[in-house]
A and B are shown apart, each in its own frame.
Chain A
Amino acid sequence: DSGVTQTPKHLITATGQRVTLRCSPRSGDLSVYWYQQSLDQGLQFLIQYYNGEERAKGNILERFSAQQFPDLHSELNLSSLELGDSALYFCASSVGVSATYEQYFGPGTRLTVT
């Protein structure tokens, strides 16, 4: 158990819909990262937040957005969903702002878009 929690574990929704994925980092960690893992693309970095502020952006689509709240939990919002958005979404946390700190991953949310 990494100490990072993600909800829900599974999500099934239809194309065009909007969903919100939630992540709670390990106690004491200030950075939260979001990743997408699909069979054809592998694990892809989406975005990083540190202590409430956006710090780095990867391959995140404009239809996707995230935020980190004062209690440090984070949410990833996915809108206008397409079939290709079906994937495992992982959140990870680390203690510092630099991505060279080791990251601890949550168990993931499996999103299925039908």
Chain B
Amino acid sequence: EDQVTQSPEALRLQEGESSSLNCSYTVSGLRGLFWYRQDPGKGPEFLFTLYSAGEEKEKERLKATLTKKESFLHITAPKPEDSATYLCAVQTTNDMRFGAGTRLTVKP
């Protein structure tokens, strides 16, 4: 069965302390991997789509990378406004499956 696992479940960082979030997946027929940011009580906000192993994308303090079995979301010098839940989702031939998310808190 297709599975998407995100780790850690929660992460607390000091402002400026860089770190990475992990999304590992076991799916058949990967068509795309997505990263979303979700603030409490709001809809997910699109960040990146990655299509093939080796691909990297950057946006401000965020960089997403993809291998054959996992994706990383690197956060460089985070700020308190980066606090949110980060969701990873995998699109296969027949399904769109989300991970449970990593709840990131950045303290000033």
Contacts and interface: CB of A to CB of B under 8 A. Distances in A.
Interface in B44-66: 44-46, 49, 51
B46 A104 contact: yes
B95 interface: yes
Contacts of B97: 45
Contacts of B100: 42
Interface residues of B, number: 23
B9 to A, nearest CB: 12
Contacts of B101: 42
B72 interface: no
Contacts of A45: 95-98
Interface of B: 31-32, 34, 36, 41-46, 49, 51, 87, 89, 91, 94-101
